[in-house]
Amino acid sequence: MPGFELFGEEERKEVNEVLETGILMRYGFDGPRKGIWKAKELEAAIIQTFGCGYAQLTSSGTAALTTAMAALGIGAGDEVIMPSFTFVASFEAVLSVGAVPVLVDVDETLTLNPTAVEAAITPATKCVMPVHMCGSMADLEALQQICIKHQLILLEDACQSIGGTYKGKALGTIGHAGTFSFDFVKTITCAEGGVVMTNDAVIYEKCDGYTDHGHNHKGIDRGADEHPYLGYNFRISELHAAVGLAQIKKLSRFLAIQRGNHAQLKSILEKVSAIQFRQVPDPSGDSCSFLSWFLPTEAITKAVVAEMKAQGILAGNFYWFDNNWHYVRNWHHLKNIAALNPLNAAQQTALQQIKTQDFSASNAVMSRCISTAISMLWTPEQIAEKGRKMVAVIEKVLQQHQVNTQIK
């Protein structure tokens, strides 16, 4: 992780084919583009690779989430249950369609706690949105049962888990709809881009129009298309799609490297008895873009982070608890309703409540968690050295805190 680490001639070839035509837009200009349709090719490759019925590319993962919600009929006043640990884009998309983000606790899967989800359901709840963080998955079986029981939409934010699976099915293809992000630091990248995946033809048709100003794309002349409903400009460009087309052809290679490097580093860290690892509902489906691990206490974890920083080895290790992009604790702009445009009354009420909401269960998890990004460029020797240095730091801090440092 991420795909840009192995950017090469394949991407240049695909991009150059677009540049040679001069047609950078995904729609229209049929003659001059000389049969070059990179976005269409990438959508077909996504369908084949991940096993979904339909795929609609967008300009970003955020745009994909917004598009999916609109196509699913999620809007003003509807509550969307989502985790307290995610990227800010998840709640941004909810707010963008007028809906209400309802944040609930995560457990040691680093994703939605099903018990917390069920407790948060109200008559206004419309959707449950698990976010498959750091390459691994939520407990989808439990969440599916909750959605069936309460007749709710299951929308997968799989933006961080490209290539992951759950019981043999690709993450992002299991709910009513699912999304990927193809931004610069995802497992496969378009530089900027995203996709909505679904097995429902009606949802797909709505996504297709919504991302292009409501065009229904049913005419020969794009300028004469009907507009059955409102839409927005969430189109991907042919240049971005070209990059993604080259990257998706390498996905199996990327995943094999990630999983190998992940396994080697885990084999080193798991020798420290005080370390516990993230719970993965289906270990065989982990995309292994991150190795997430827990230390006994918040104080020990913070001390390890500080020592790694002092020794210059913190890079690539993420302490989400103090991060202001990914965890509710530092989402001050959300809690303070710092929006440039006025939000609706239901949104304002919900965000005010987040200020005083009890996230102690999430804090107990996230305050002890460090996630190590798995590079595809590491050599076995580099992994061994990295692991050795990390273990030395952890053992030093554990000894300072008088914790058993027994090596397994």
* Cα–Cα dist 318/290, whole Å: 10
Nearest to 160 by CA among 218, 99, 87, 67: 87
Per DSSP, the residues of 171-235 read TTSSSSEEEEE-BTTSSS--BS-EEEEES-HHHHHHHHHHTBTT----SSSGGG---SS---B-P
Pairing of strands 194-198, 54-58: antiparallel
Residue 335 annotated in active site = no
- List CB contacts of 82: < 8 A, sequence separation 6 or more: 90, 91, 94, 101, 102, 103, 104, 112, 129, 130, 131, 157
Strands of the 54-58 sheet, one edge to the other: 54-58, 194-198, 177-181, 153-157, 125-128, 79-83, 100-104
Hey, how many other C-beta atoms are within 10 angstroms of the C-beta on 33?
18
**Annotated active-site residue in 38, 186, 206, 250:** 186
Which residues are tagged catalytic?
A: 186
